[in-house]
Amino acid sequence: MLFDSKDTLLFIGDSITDNGRARPVGELLGLGAGYVSLVNAALGARYPETLVRVLNTGCGGNRVTDLAARWQQDVLDLQPDWVSIMIGINDVWRHFDRAVLSDQVDPEQFETVLTELVETTKSRVKGIFLMTPFFLEANRDDPMRAMMDQYGAIVRKIAESKDCRFVDTQAAFDRYLAARPTQSLCGDRVHPNLIGHQIIADAFLAAI
């Protein structure tokens, strides 16, 4: 197992990570109702000899620029040993549901800001997990799915160039969607139900 006893593992991201977590920092019973809680439960059940402190600072609606604005308070000040970042869903979605926004995060800005966050943090932690954003659509030619894949490829590129652990959540969902329809996971193709959160948790756990 990757973690040592008394390590702190912090998850940060958007609403998928947030999922009703407590404020100002989600911990213990305040981890939210999503994949972060599932990861925490799995770690406790599978490795009872290793006490890992799990924190959740996900925030609904966040884009990578929002993460940058709160990075000091919600990551660095908490002094985690490991950081997991899943961001990009809203960076893409805003191009489709709020196209009139003047501060859209294009792929170049997304890569620049996420790279800066990794570089700022890497020397302070034991390791960083980069999880791809995802869109629960099997048709890769769908415009939003195609753009999400572009942002996911950027996450992979940064993970490889900065020696981070890469978690391909889109690939995990694609395996499921080859057998079952999107409607069995969610209605908006973005916010998964508990089955979807289990898929995310399993993908993360495979990386450790």
Contact 98, 63 (CB under 8 A): no
Options 66, 95, 191, 202, the catalytic residue:
191
14 catalytically annotated: no
DSSP state of 85: E
Active site residue 102: no
Considering the chain, what percentage of its residues have pLDDT values greater than 90? 97
Distances (CA, A) of 98 to 41, 43, 55, 154, 160: 37, 39, 31, 22, 32
pLDDT tens digit string along 69-103? 999 999 999 999 999 999 999 999 999 988 788 89
Query: Is 191 a known active-site residue?
Result: yes
pLDDT at position 146: 97
Q: Which listed residue (7, 15, 149, 197) is catalytic?
A: 15
* Percent of the chain with pLDDT strictly greater than 70: 100
CATH of segment(s) 8-206: 3.40.50.1110
What is the predicted pLDDT for the residue at 31?
Answer: 98
